Homo-oligomer: A and B are copies of this chain.
């Protein structure tokens, strides 16, 4: 049973089978963990962009992954947004929540306490969906000779998906621990997981990925 089974109809599955999409692959030898936008503004539904139902469970799943990854000395990268002072920095995002008073709350772009970065872990400030676009993430992954990225965070159909597509385009092996991502829309969440698993990444249960990390080095 896959999480998308109740939303993807049989005829769609047949088209993907015809193209021989999907399946499982072997992961690499040098993984890194990327934690996308796990800030109060996304995790907590007190904020306009918040998506509470999947946010806190994802925090706890990411904590499990981070505990194992840090134990194994695997590099960890966080991303977060920042307040835009000017229209130039606000860009062309379609949502209209910028003008809200909450957009000035410093906690909005703070990574939640439960999984806060350690002092030697990199926090990337980004504005656009992908953790790679306009950032040094690709360079930092090359610095560590990373071949596999475990992409976690929020939201599945937004910044997570954009980061997965770019990681794939940089020829990294991309793995998505299913419990470690969340979205404000349940259908967007499930269909993005399906789309990514078909073409760009392996969606897998957290237990499988923790076992994989156990075998590293």
Interface residues of A (CB under 8 A from B): 7-9, 11-12, 15-16, 18-23, 25, 30, 48-49, 51, 75, 85-89, 91-97, 119-122, 127-130, 133-136, 138-145, 147, 157-158, 162, 165-166, 168-173, 184-188, 191-192, 194-195, 198-201
Rounded to whole Å, the gap between the CB of A51 and the closest CB of chain B is 6
Q: Name A141's closest neighbour in chain B (CB-CB).
A: B142
Q: Which 5 A-B pairs have the closest CB atoms?
A: A12-B185, A134-B136, A128-B169, A20-B96, A143-B171
* B134 lies within 8 A of A184 (CB): no
Q: What are 14 of the A-B contact pairs (CB < 8 Å)? A: A12-B187, A16-B184, A19-B97, A23-B96, A30-B145, A128-B139, A130-B169, A134-B134, A134-B169, A138-B142, A140-B171, A142-B147, A158-B199, A188-B195
| CB-based nearest B residue for A128 | B169
Query: Across the interface, do B165 and A15 meet the contact criterion of CB distance under 8 Å?
Result: no
A15 and B169 contact, Cβ closer than 8 Å, known pairs A21-B94, A191-B191, A199-B94? no
Do the beta carbons of A166 and B19 come within 8 Å of each other? no
A91 and B18 alpha carbons, distance in the complex (Å): 21
Nearest B residue to A13, CB-CB: B185
Other-chain residue from B139, B158, B171 in contact with A169 (beta carbon distance below 8 A): B139
Count of identical protomers in the assembly = 4
Q: Within 8 Å CB of A75, what residues of B?
A: 88
The interface residues of chain B lying within 8 Å CB-to-CB of A97 are 19-20
Contact A165 B129 (CB under 8 A): yes
Q: Is the CB of B94 within 8 A of A23?
A: yes
Cβ A184 vs Cβ B95 within 8 A: no
Give complex CA distance A76, B149 in Å: 26
A201 surroundings in chain B (CB, below 8 A): 94
Nearest residue (CB) in B for A200 is B94
Tell me which residues across on chain B come within 8 A of A16, comparing CB atoms.
184-185
Chain B contacts for A96, CB-based, 8 A: 20-21, 23
